[in-house]
């Protein structure tokens, strides 16, 4: 067992190794290979569509299984993800698209995918490989809406701190491929979807906005999201469409029990549970006692960070270091703030303020896709000494929190964790460390 240092700051190298171990445990290619459906029929023609941050790795693994059955392949992914250099040699039509706010590239990608599906032979099979980011990347507006409408609503909901299920409820009722739209487009063909989940709770209708899944949400639900998040004015065209749909003037998304679903199978090959299991194994091997493992963590990032810090202070001293492990995805209600940050960085910054003066405590928070919010950092590692370091540099951490400027503050303090795009995405991991834990209260 490694000998643990006495202060949390000295754990940073181990924290960075934990990040690498977690990302490796969620390698999309390995997960596709391990969970490949044994009953997949390769006797006919297969059209392969991959969309999301893990698309290059997932599509490469699937091609190994499909052989001569594969007739056409398209992969949609964001710029910078690893594994794209192999796609041309594999005969993949590669299309870049942006995230999280859709652009003209996303519109082009979605139109290419729709054309692929529509051109399939009537007895063919559609294999969809879905991973985080696919909702934004497959943007095809419904009749009467434009790309600008969808981008405006997306920006408004993100700034309002809307969780992904709310954002995607709106998307499903404003676009053609979401809410079972791709399954409808495939019509009578067989559809198999393999999914790397980036959604807390692994809801099929929320992951990628459920292109091949039944949608339990309604136009009324989507309109309610805009009302709760004060986003009715983001796009008049979107609001009018949702009101018409809520009044029964527009057809709903694909609903549970629809006969079309008899030809569709959706299967999850990896999720945040894989990341949590890898983190737990690493921490045990490093000599930590797991005081708690919390799954499906959501809520305001700063609140979760403060709560975690308080829980760390309350851990009783059981004779060896302890930790609290969280998995899930928080949100940040930005409002009118125009600073730079991300949910994991905000969580860590809030924890650093709360941990002030206790050098034996630390918090690591990171996004498994390597990009936390609109920044180039995956997250951050802070300790009970971070706030004192900030005072020495005349940095006001409380102000940075209020202005949602976590990235600027944590970069100045050398607290950021950078991995670059990882090519996977299974939500976030947060670890609270307690070295020389204080007596319980």
Return the pLDDT at 439.
39
Confidence of residue 76 (pLDDT cuts 50, 70, 90): very high
Residue 277 φ/ψ, nearest 5 degrees: -65, -40
pLDDT in tens, 43-54: 889 999 999 999
Return the pLDDT at 437.
45
Distances (CA, A) of 44 to 69, 123, 129, 184, 217: 6, 8, 18, 20, 34
Pair 225, 170: CB distance under 8 Å: yes
The stretch 27-33 carries a mean pLDDT of 97
- The pLDDT of residue 5 is above 70: no
How many other C-beta atoms can be found within 10 angstroms of the C-beta atom of residue 181? 24
* Domain segments of the chain as ranges: 8-24+273-434, 27-270
- The pLDDT of residue 278 is above 90: yes
Query: Residue 108: in which H helix or E strand, if any?
Result: helix 104-118
How many other C-beta atoms can be found within 10 angstroms of the C-beta atom of residue 82? 15
CA separation for the pair 422, 26 (Å, rounded): 10
Mode of pairing for the β-strands spanning 379-383 and 361-367: antiparallel
Return the pLDDT at 252.
98
Confidence of residue 441 (pLDDT cuts 50, 70, 90): very low
Phi-psi region of 91 (alpha: psi -120 to 50; beta: other; left: phi over 0): left
Q: What is the DSSP letter of 300?
A: B
Return the pLDDT at 6.
61
For all residues of the chain together, what is the average pLDDT? 94
Phi-psi region of 423 (alpha: psi -120 to 50; beta: other; left: phi over 0): left
Helices 147-159 and 104-118: crossing angle in degrees, nearest 10, is 120
* Cβ within 8 Å of residue 237, ≥6 positions away: 144, 145, 146, 149
Return the pLDDT at 370.
97
pLDDT in tens, 360-410: 999 999 999 999 999 999 999 999 999 999 999 999 999 999 999 999 999
**Adjacent-strand bridge partners of 268:** 195
HEC assignment per residue over 121-183? CCCCEEEEEECCCHHHHCCCECCCCCHHHHHHHHHHHHHCCCCHHHHHHHHHCCECCCCCHHH
Return the pLDDT at 10.
84
Query: Residue 266: in which H helix or E strand, if any?
Result: strand 264-270
The stretch 245-260 carries a mean pLDDT of 97
Return the pLDDT at 299.
97
CA separation for the pair 301, 331 (Å, rounded): 6
Return the pLDDT at 44.
87
Multiple choice CATH, 27-270, 3.40.50.10180, 1.10.600.10, 3.30.450.70, 3.20.190.10: 3.40.50.10180
pLDDT in tens, 119-177: 999 899 999 999 999 999 999 999 999 999 999 999 999 999 999 999 999 999 999 99
CATH 3.40.1480.10: does it fit domain 8-24+273-434? Answer: yes
**pTM score:** 0.94
Distances (CA, A) of 141 to 6, 146, 181: 56, 6, 12
- The pLDDT of residue 438 is above 50: no
The stretch 216-236 carries a mean pLDDT of 98
- The pLDDT of residue 75 is above 90: yes
């Amino acid at each position: 067992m490694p000998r643990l240092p006495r202060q949390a700051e000295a754990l940073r190298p181990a924290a960075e190794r934990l990040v690498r171990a977690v990302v490796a445990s969620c390698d999309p290619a390995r997960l596709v290979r391990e969970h490949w459906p044994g009953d997949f029929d390769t006797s006919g023609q297969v059209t392969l569509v991959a969309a999301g941050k893990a698309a290059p790795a997932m599509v490469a693994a699937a091609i190994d299984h499909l052989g001569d059955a594969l007739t056409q392949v398209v992969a949609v992914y964001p710029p910078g993800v690893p594994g794209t250099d192999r796609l041309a040699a594999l005969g993949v039509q590669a299309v870049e698209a942006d995230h999280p706010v859709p652009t003209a590239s996303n519109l082009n990608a979605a139109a290419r995918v729709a054309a692929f599906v529509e051109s399939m032979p009537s007895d063919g099979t559609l294999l969809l490989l879905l991973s985080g980011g696919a909702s934004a990347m497959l943007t095809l507006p419904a009749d009467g809406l434009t790309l600008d409408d969808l981008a405006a609503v997306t920006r408004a909901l993100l700034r309002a701190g809307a969780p992904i299920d709310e954002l995607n409820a709106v998307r499903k009722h404003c676009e053609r491929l979401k809410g079972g739209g791709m399954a409808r487009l495939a019509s009578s063909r067989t559809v198999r979807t393999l999914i790397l989940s980036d959604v807390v709770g692994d809801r099929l209708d929320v992951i990628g906005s459920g292109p091949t899944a039944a949608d339990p949400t309604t136009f009324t639900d989507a309109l309610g999201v805009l009302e709760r998040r004060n986003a009715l004015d983001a796009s008049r065209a979107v609001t009018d469409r949702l009101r018409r749909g809520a009044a029964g003037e527009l057809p709903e998304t694909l609903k549970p029990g629809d006969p079309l679903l008899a030809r569709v199978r959706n299967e999850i090959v990896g999720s945040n549970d894989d990341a949590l299991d890898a983190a737990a194994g690493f921490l045990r091997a490093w000599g930590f006692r797991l005081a708690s493992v919390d799954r499906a963590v959501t809520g305001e990032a700063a609140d979760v960070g403060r709560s975690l810090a308080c829980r760390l202070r309350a851990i009783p001293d059981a004779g060896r270091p302890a930790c609290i492990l969280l998995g899930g995805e928080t949100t940040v209600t930005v409002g009118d703030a125009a600073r730079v940050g991300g949910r994991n960085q905000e969580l860590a910054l809030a924890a650093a303020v709360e941990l002030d003066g206790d050098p034996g405590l630390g918090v690591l928070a990171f996004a498994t896709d390597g990009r936390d919010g609109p920044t180039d950092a995956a997250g951050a590692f802070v300790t009970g000494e971070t706030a004192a370091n900030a005072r020495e540099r005349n940095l006001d951490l409380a102000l940075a929190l209020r202005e949602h400027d976590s990235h600027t503050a944590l970069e100045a303090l050398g607290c950021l964790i950078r991995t670059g795009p990882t090519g996977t995405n299974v939500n976030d991991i947060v670890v609270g460390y307690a070295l020389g834990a204080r007596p319980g209260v």
